[in-house]
Chains A and B, each alone.
Chain A
């Protein structure tokens, strides 16, 4: 299975942009890149996903490298509420739902 590699932790200052990296060098052509985040004591929540092109939504932006071997989740202005564990996951839409694994993610700390 294609796996992802993320830094264990990152820090940011409030109201500054945050770039969360993810490496996925063995990504396949049918893998979509998904991001979830988990706030303290809560279940994960969906953030954004993409295949090849950069994507934007109300929560964040996703920048995907041209070779698709890495991606970056961008929070444009971090707030204290963005402090969470961020998971980068590959979802193969050809394979079944049993390939539904979360890694250890990146713990984002936001300083006031």
Chain B
């Protein structure tokens, strides 16, 4: 089955700096890669996702890049703000109209943005 590794486990950045989180996956058939943000005691919130036919996607200060050959994808947060502090999870799945689309999650990255 799919295995997703996520690094680093913790990331401390100064406000205004950039943060990068990297994930690798094992199943080359995976074609959908979402990123979730989870604040303490809250639900995971989808912040951005990318499909395997796209190499990069950007939404304001957040961007995701995908390298299918190397089987890794990354989350980039620019101009970080204190409210970006949270745990971020990457995930991978094989999505088809006939499949359940189970997500395999990475272990998570605790991001701390200090003012």
Q: Decide whether A and B are members of one complex.
A: no
